Chain A
Amino acid sequence: MKKTILTFIFLFTIGFLTFGQVTDPLISNCATNAGANAKYLKDFRIQLGKATSQDELRYKANMSLWKNTKYRFTMCNADNSKGQLILSIKDDANKLVLSSLDKKTGKIYTFVDFECQKSGIYQISYDFTNWQQGSGVGVVSMVK
Chain B
Amino acid sequence: MIVIFGFSCRNSKSKTSEFVFPQTDSVPVSEAEKLSPEAIADISRNISSPVEIANLLQTLQVPFSQDYLAESIDANKQSTSFDKALKLGILGADLGYLNMYEKTSSSLDVLSSIRKIAEDIKVGQFFDFESIKRLSKNKSNLDSLLFISIDSYNKIDNYLRENDRGQLSALMIIGVWIEGQYLATQVVSRFPDKMLSDRIGEQKIILNDLLLLISPYCNRDQEFTSLCKDMQDIKDKYRDIRITYTQGEPVSVEKDGGLTIKQTETSVVSMSEEQLNGVIEITKNIRDKLILNN
Contacts and interface: CB of A to CB of B under 8 A. Distances in A.
Interface of A: 17-18, 21, 23, 27-28, 31-32, 38-43, 61-64, 66-69, 91-98, 100, 109, 111-121, 142, 144
A17 B206 CA distance: 34
Interface in B129-168: 142-144, 146-148, 150-151, 154-155
Interface residues of B, number: 56
B260 A61 contact: no
B45 A39 contact: no
A142 B55 CA distance: 9
B267 A120 contact: yes
A64 B47 CA distance: 7
A10 to B, nearest CB: 14
Contacts of B260: 112-115
B9 A38 contact: no
A66 B56 CA distance: 10
A40 B142 CA distance: 10
A61 B42 contact: yes
A94 B48 CA distance: 21
B266 interface: yes
B46 interface: yes
A118 B46 contact: no
B9 A66 contact: no
A66 B259 contact: no
A28 B162 CA distance: 22
Contact of A109 (B51, B144, B258): B258
B190 interface: no
B195 A68 contact: yes
**10 A-B pairs with the lowest CB-CB distances in the bound complex, closest first:** A93-B15, A62-B42, A64-B46, A119-B202, A113-B260, A117-B263, A98-B261, A40-B147, A118-B267, A115-B262
Contact of B51 (A32, A39, A62): A39
Given A21-B125, A39-B143, A62 B45 contact: yes
B147 A95 contact: no
Nearest to A31: B147
A32 B143 CA distance: 7
19 contacts: A39-B100, A39-B143, A63-B42, A64-B47, A64-B206, A66-B48, A66-B199, A67-B202, A67-B267, A94-B12, A97-B263, A98-B250, A111-B259, A112-B259, A114-B260, A115-B263, A119-B202, A120-B205, A121-B206
Given A118-B265, A121-B205, A41 B258 contact: no
B249 to A, nearest CB: 9
B267 A115 contact: no
Contacts of A144: 59
Nearest to A19: B125
A100 B170 CA distance: 33
B263 to A, nearest CB: 4
B69 interface: no
Contact of A115 (B12, B56, B243, B261): B261
B7 A40 contact: no
Contacts of A32: 143-144, 147
Interface string B38-65: 1001100111110110011001000000
Contacts of A39: 51, 55, 100, 142-143, 146
B245 interface: yes
Contact of A142 (B15, B51, B259): B51
B143 A63 contact: no
B144 A97 contact: no
A65 to B, nearest CB: 9
B55 A61 contact: no
B267 A119 contact: yes
Contacts of A120: 19, 205, 267
Nearest to B250: A97
Given A67-B266, A117-B265, A96 B7 contact: yes
Contacts of B12: 93-95
B8 interface: yes
B205 A28 contact: no
